[in-house]
Amino acid sequence: MQRFQNYIGGTFRDGDTWFESVDPSTGEAWAQIPAASQADVDQAVMAADKAFNSPEWASLTATARGKLLYRLADLIAENAPGLAELETRDTGKIIRETSAQIAYVADYYRYYAGLADKIEGAHLPIDKPDMEVWLRREPVGVVAAIVPWNSQLFLSAVKIGPALAAGCTVVLKASEEAPAPMLEFARIFHKAGFPEGVLNVLTGGPDVGAALTRHERIAHVAFTGGPETARHIVRNSAENLASTSLELGGKSPFIVFEDADLDSAVNAQVSGIFAASGQSCVAGSRLVVQASIKDAVLDRLRQKAESVVIGAPDEMATEVGPLCTQRQQNWAAELVTRSQAQGAQLITGGQPLDRAGFYFPPTILDCSRARDADCLTHEFFGPVLSVVSFETEDEAIAIANDTRFGLASGVFTQNLTRAHRMVRSIRAGIVWVNTYRAVSPIAPFGGHGLSGHGREGGLQAALDYTKIKSVWLRTSDDPIPDPFVMR
């Protein structure tokens, strides 16, 4: 059985205790993972704090930081095939997806490498004639980055990349579910030549996350996960007054009007909900389709769902692999059953497959006569699509916004003016028009409401890891008057 180590202060360390990681395609343990202790957390944070204040890191020019990030990007690209295989083994995500995504992760580090020496301050046209005032952007300090198991190399890149570009140091907590890829990433990072302690990687359960997020030396917490955990993080941050950026879940509407290109819309919907076995925070889990084309769209979707190749995630022919955990499989089955009892009509799928591993088939529920069904409000984090129909544009907007989440959305229409109206009206951090799940290091993403706050990706993410310092310089050579002498 393969054994992994935590990475603290530039060294690889065993844990005092270990837990097993399970292969989702077989349900069998395949690796031993070190369970970090609260002492490990403290050592990691103190190592990051020491690195933040050390000349080896703090005195580096921004350009030099960028060169280190370029080196890291090159190493990720070189090791992408092995990382993809490891992520597939540990999470059950199919090799076609992990290979493509991890290859693109290197571009995120390259983007922030290039951005490192372009984080600029400003000169203020101050209202005092004998003063020059300018603003400096400086790193906030030690960052706690917490990522879930799904797309973890990508979700860590949009935290580590901008944080290091800004000059911060990082303690990254990988999920206790399928953390092997992040622990292997630490080995790749180590080879890039960063000073010791700039990045620390450990794993463990909620106690590790709590110890990390409330630590007195943490200045910022960057978290991706669920709203309930985010609430605990916000409470913990009251102890150290750390700022937070929270990228949480979603119940994203995928809106299809009758004038849409149905082939494109259906293909995008299949990708939006069945890719990654639906285990994506931006999954288009609510199909909001105009009533006049509902039957035609549902028929196409059913055919595609039932023809999907379900199989071992390490086989290139596989299109849908297993869910990551037994718990996730059970939750999907329970929510489907509950929603059917509430009036949702099962079109296809609905129950775990009778085979080893945590497989759940692509599932479609027609909720047009069950608008209060739980499947429309709860996040499955699985390959389950809930369908509702609408008659008018205003009704489509109302359905789309009838959620406490607000991460992503999709609109399919050939009407340009309608597209603009929808973009303006939908309450979500991302609106994709005639496409879905497109991402780029240049474009920020994030949500509203229970989908969190803050943005990841783009220039804004790097700025979020900085604080502004105002600098006042008096330009007059005249002595400052004695404030106690009346004139």
| Cα separation values, 228 from 116, 166, 223, Å | 34, 29, 12
pLDDT at 16: 86
**Is residue 206 within a helix (H) or strand (E), and if so which, with residue range?**
helix 206-213
Average pLDDT over every residue of 8-21: 94
| Residue 354: pLDDT over 70 | yes
Every domain of the chain with CATH number 3.40.605.10 lies at 2-248+447-472
The model's pTM is 0.95
Full DSSP string of 138-162: EE--EEEEE--STTHHHHHHHHHHH
pLDDT at 474: 96
Active-site annotation holds for 120: no
Please tell me which residue in 97, 176, 247, 379 is annotated as part of the active site. 247
d(CA 292, CA 327): 38
| Residue 184: pLDDT over 70 | yes
Every domain of the chain with CATH number 3.40.309.10 lies at 253-433
pLDDT at 487: 66
Residue with tokens 């206790």: 176
| Residue 442: pLDDT over 80 | yes
| Residue 13: pLDDT over 70 | yes
| Residue 174: pLDDT over 90 | yes
Under 8 Å between Cβ of 220 and 243: yes
Under 8 Å between Cβ of 332 and 324: no
d(CA 109, CA 245): 19
pLDDT digits (tens, 9 = 90+) for 262-314: 999 999 999 999 999 999 999 999 999 999 999 999 999 999 999 999 999 99
| Residue 20: pLDDT over 70 | yes
CATH 3.40.309.10 fits 253-433, yes or no: yes
d(CA 239, CA 251): 31
Average pLDDT over every residue of 222-236: 95
| Residue 81: pLDDT over 70 | yes
Residue with tokens 């076995």: 277
d(CA 312, CA 20): 21
Sheet holding 452-453, edge to edge: 11-13, 6-8, 199-203, 169-174, 142-146, 218-224, 243-247, 452-453
Taking all residues of the chain, what is their mean pLDDT, rounded to a whole number?
Answer: 96
Which superfamily does CATH assign the domain made up of 2-248+447-472 to? Answer: Aldehyde Dehydrogenase; Chain A, domain 1 (3.40.605.10)
Q: Give which of 158, 65, 147 is closest to 105, Cα–Cα.
A: 158
Is residue 485 very low, low, confident or very high in pLDDT (cuts 50, 70, 90)? Answer: confident
Q: C-alpha angle with apex 162: 159 to 168, nearest 5 degrees? A: 90
Q: Give which of 225, 270, 282 is closest to 248, Cα–Cα.
A: 225
pLDDT at 200: 98
pLDDT digits (tens, 9 = 90+) for 428-437: 999 999 999 9
| Residue 486: pLDDT over 80 | no
pLDDT at 1: 84
Percent pLDDT > 70 in the chain is 100
d(CA 310, CA 92): 12
User: Taking the CA of residue 201 as centre, how many other CA atoms within 13 Å lie in the half-sphere pointing to its CB?
Assistant: 27
Is residue 101 very low, low, confident or very high in pLDDT (cuts 50, 70, 90)? Answer: very high
